[in-house]
A and B are shown apart, each in its own frame.
Chain A
């Protein structure tokens, strides 16, 4: 890359050097010159509507908007003259003439600030400070910066009723200033198109078609619109009224393997809101509903387990940690390794997983550390892992010229992948979807094939055959597919980079084994890239840490040879003495047992009551790292103290091990765990590059699972029902429940329509 030549400009009599190909506003901001603006926002296309960012430029007529005027060599720009100041004040006056502004112009304003504790309450009840975003409002901030202290117009209240019937956020368009940020973010960043300007002129409003709800309009509830809203027009249900957060903590979402960067908004030791980070290279700020909205309600759920407790004939009895550790140690001591089973969730951090396997191996003397993920995949596990460990990075989609998505939908998850696919499609890449019903990619796809999941493998097979023979020779293809397959194969053959995205519906379909095999052929014979969009957050970390039967820490990592996974036979039908669940909440997969230890953040919903409950802290409450689907090791930061007496998983293992006086589990903190990992898993914390995995020998797939619950087609706990540590988000997060119900009813009505 050649370095761009800087331009010399003068801003407010300062001579500056600025980057070329920017707007005046960008250049000014990069040079720390403040120009107010409401409609402009980084990452969004310029719009030039609010006019606050007007400047004076020598040689240009009038007052050009700096957000739309490209900077040029030698420009002489003034950003703060008396004239500009008065124009900006007038703009704000006009905006505020249609935006209730008692938060700004009130005789009691100063007192109100000072005695907020009491006066504010009155304000809220009398409706004077009724803005949900009070104190987090850009309009407020700018009004203060521009120095407007009074207005001459009476406030004209537009009288829209507040829209509260959608999950996660409310909309009060009386506060809307029509800056259009939400419309732009929804359309040009999220490529979703839920929002649009409606009508025109003074009647302009924003929303979906007609007066549909956002649910009906196919909204992803990514909350991007809420994040960019400079007023209180859009406000998250959980965080409104909170005011300014105390701190912001950058962490990684552990709800799925994408590993989006999150900015947790913390106030009074509570996560009150979560915002995206547009500078994050992995997700580019394109987080989904789960990361955006499903965290505060989960971690602050009234159901949270806050103290250790023990099942007695008359119910649960609260006990101290010492008692609880004694109890656990007592039960684990002395039992034979084959009578014990440890199940860990792939949503734990690398560090917790490392300690979990160490605990199982060194303390319990067993290799049986499994996870419900393994049971989901059953005998197809090894081919699945083979694909997952060789998955391509998400940014490869950006260069793709052809994308085939099978059973993939990114409405409520995997949006950084989904949006990259949409973007590729919009920029001319061939996008083909294969699914059982409409997917959110269909709108931008060249062709959307709809067929029942059992046929997917066959369709894929025909395509692979056709592609492999380069159109020569005879390929057996169903008649009704011939022309379509011919057409798309031609484009795929001409494309430099093709990507196959395997979605959750495909992973949980009955023909998945064949789909995995076809994917391998595409990858190995035709050079396709593969992305497996599975739900198991830290699956790669689980493998790398050796929290997996028959594989010690680091054995899965690349060091020359291919690995053959030799799974010990696990018989779930055989009764165990003790089952120890760490972050596993699905009881359909666990074998019968005499004693059940349940270590988690929320209680399970099951008829089998755990005998011992150990309250664990969640990912917002303890630090560590997680490995995303690309193999990148990402930081999880502690944002708040753990809920009540909850403790990190590694701490609990540590204490039990101590009690049992076995193994080398003497970790003081997470850093100590990381030091141990560094020793055993070379280069794991190596830096920005993804951890590379050894090629897994997929041919040697053994039948390892016995007595597993019957897998019914695509039904699986993890499928379309996102969960964290075994607890479906829909159980604790009201909005997720609403989405769930909506999806189910619309699926039902689709079926009826057919």
Chain B
């Protein structure tokens, strides 16, 4: 009997997977097909959703992409009933397909179950070996041994800081306190990063299990998961999973029949990026304004309600059960000298295949962008990749052979961050990009430190005037100067890293800034204030289409005669360029 799995993660559902699922269900009932229909989460190939996997009697797997209800019908008839796979829609199977490279370079630890099991079923998680690690730990390991294993694995915090998790756990274990807490930071807010959301939606139990192991190691009986308000589905799924685990006795008093107690509460954020910073996150759980406070004392000594607290993010915890089961050496076998294991990257932007890819540390940028991501959309030129969100920076295409690990990335001026990769092509203006990220941090600053509150505002003003064509000599120096001061003089990571996007673009693309300032020209043809549109008289057929489309009535001309754009009236919306079928409109 064949098994059919439909990816019903939010990415699938929003791409219409629910309708596909209904269609398959319908077919099974209508034709009385002998097959098992299951739900599963996201397998990372977000660019191909809705995904349907058919597993045949020989356990061969065939994954179909972009399955509409109509396509589903065909697949049911041809593949499920007649054993004739529909080759043209296959994205991954025992047979080669162009999407194979998406998985080829991946090593899935965090995403091990994503898109394979039904995330709403604890039984499926258990069936894949889930909750074995915690049981092993409870039976055989002392807390010290757990910490030793995690330390030896070389696992670093995957939230951005990259601090050695084992060491962090030890601090918290050694801290004096009658009560300790652990927190799972699921306030993934970096623009361009979504691995935590996907992991929570597709394999929530792996995170819970990781938290249990950590709690045992540091001696905490209560855990919190702080999840973003922007992730309603992840929250719902977590709540469900916690209920399941409680019902099974995996959570609560005497978990797995051991003397250990552990309970988990979910705290929902309410839309404040800064709450991803650990002290702000703690303040938010405590019901306060999410303002970072100065450290020391560090949360490991004084965290939630003044008690020792360990904070890791979703991805970090999800690694833990695997490390316990496979040993620290197996984990450390992946990666580079200073960065062990694998890392999940979220691919977005001008890339062919956007989605999640888990790769060993040390892979190059080019491998990710081209081999996994399939290169740039519409055949354009790869220009840069933005790493680490608003705290990170832009790494130019010329450094595409850079091996990705914590050290190498830091050297570029960007940071690993949570692993968001926003790929940019030649049409992306780097000044605009820097402006974009700075506006983000500016909006999300808590407003406490002078430099972060006012300094970013002044920087943004400078960037705005540059992209508006009003840049002045000295602006670049002013940006550098402010960036340096902000970096050195703010309390929390948000402020300290806020200037990174500006600094890296200044470092790698100084000529773009100069072009804006000195020549009032945007090399990427992106800053609308610096653009002019004109019509090539010889190419214009006089069809009037652009004149009709122009919202500002800036285009004049008669039928069959070349038109003209009145630049004084033109609002530079680009409608004419889109409308013209003869490539007569040009952007300068």
Contacts and interface: CB of A to CB of B under 8 A. Distances in A.
Asked if A and B touch directly (CB within 8 angstroms), the answer is yes
Contacts of B453: 178, 201-202, 204
B450 to A, nearest CB: 5
Contacts of B285: none
Contact of B447 (A48, A63, A91, A201): A201
B445 A65 contact: no
Contact of A95 (B454, B485, B490): B454
A91 B481 CA distance: 12
A97 B454 contact: yes
Contacts of A473: none
A153 interface: yes
Nearest to A61: B488
A200 B272 contact: yes
A54 B489 contact: yes
Contact of A201 (B293, B442, B481, B489): B442
A313 B58 CA distance: 124
Contact of B485 (A68, A90, A180, A197): A90
A520 B442 CA distance: 62
Contact of B454 (A62, A98, A152): A98
B488 A91 contact: no
Contacts of B443: 201-202
Contacts of B449: 48-49, 51
B450 A94 contact: yes
A201 B445 contact: yes
Contacts of A47: 448
Interface in B470-489: 478, 481-482, 485, 488-489
A202 B489 contact: no
Nearest to B446: A200
A50 interface: yes
Contacts of A50: 450
B253 interface: no
Nearest to B295: A68
B289 interface: yes
From B443, B478, B488, B489, name the one whose CB has the most chain A CB atoms within 10 angstroms.
B489
A51 B451 contact: yes
A97 B454 CA distance: 8
A98 B482 CA distance: 16
B444 interface: yes
Interface string B483-516: 0010011110000000000000000000000000
Contact of B488 (A49, A62, A98, A199): A62
Interface string B448-476: 11110111011000000000000000000
A572 interface: no
B294 A202 contact: no
Contacts of A153: 458
Contacts of A152: 478
A94 B447 contact: no
A153 B455 CA distance: 11
A68 B457 contact: no
Nearest to A48: B294
Given A197-B447, A201-B442, A87 B488 contact: yes
A605 B451 CA distance: 58
A51 B447 contact: no
Contacts of A87: 485, 488-489
B7 to A, nearest CB: 37
B485 A202 contact: no
Contacts of A48: 293-294, 448-449, 491
Contacts of A46: 294
Contact of B458 (A97, A178, A201): A97
Contacts of A197: 289, 447
Contact of B444 (A54, A177, A201, A204): A201
A200 B485 contact: no
B218 to A, nearest CB: 25
A270 B443 CA distance: 48
A62 B454 CA distance: 20
A100 to B, nearest CB: 14
Contacts of A200: 272, 274, 289, 445-447
Contacts of A94: 450-451, 454-455, 458
Contacts of B451: 51, 91, 94
A68 B294 CA distance: 7
Interface in B293-345: 293-294
A747 to B, nearest CB: 33
Given A178-B447, A197-B289, A201-B447, A63 B488 contact: yes
A95 B450 contact: yes
Contacts of A203: 447
Nearest to A204: B447
B84 to A, nearest CB: 59
A95 B449 CA distance: 11
A153 B442 CA distance: 18
Interface in B98-154: none
A488 B225 CA distance: 38
A39 B191 CA distance: 33
A204 B448 CA distance: 9
Interface string A172-202: 0000011010000000000000000101111
Nearest to A154: B461
Contacts of A95: 450, 454
Contacts of B289: 197, 200
Interface string B547-561: 000000000000000
A54 B485 CA distance: 12
A62 B487 CA distance: 9
Contacts of A65: 294
A176 to B, nearest CB: 12
B498 to A, nearest CB: 12
Contacts of B274: 200
B458 A202 contact: no
Nearest to B454: A94
Q: Which of A49, A91, A98, A204 has the most CB of B within 10 A?
A: A49
Most chain A C-beta atoms within 10 Å of own C-beta, residue among B294, B445, B450, B455: B450
A51 B442 contact: no
B489 A91 contact: yes
Contacts of A204: 447, 453
Nearest to A68: B294
B450 A49 contact: yes
A124 to B, nearest CB: 28
Nearest to B293: A48
Interface in A19-65: 46-51, 54, 62-63, 65
Contacts of A180: 448
Contacts of A91: 450-451, 489
A46 B447 CA distance: 16
A657 B442 CA distance: 76
Contacts of B448: 47-49, 178, 180
Contacts of B491: 48-49
* Most A-side CB within 10 Å, residue of B442, B443, B454: B454
A354 B222 CA distance: 68
B446 A201 contact: yes
A658 to B, nearest CB: 66
Interface hub of A87, A177, A200, A203 (most chain B Cβ within 10 A): A200
Contact of A202 (B293, B445, B478, B482): B445
A91 B454 CA distance: 9
Given A47-B448, A87-B485, A201-B443, 4 more contacts: A50-B450, A98-B454, A178-B448, A200-B272
The 9 closest A-B CB pairs, nearest first, are A204-B447, A94-B454, A68-B294, A201-B445, A48-B294, A201-B447, A49-B448, A51-B489, A90-B485
27 contacts: A46-B294, A48-B293, A48-B294, A48-B449, A49-B448, A49-B449, A49-B450, A51-B489, A51-B490, A63-B488, A65-B294, A68-B294, A87-B488, A94-B451, A94-B458, A97-B454, A153-B458, A177-B450, A178-B447, A199-B447, A200-B274, A200-B445, A200-B446, A201-B443, A201-B445, A201-B446, A204-B447
Interface of A: 46-51, 54, 62-63, 65, 68, 87, 90-91, 94-95, 97-98, 152-153, 177-178, 180, 197, 199-204
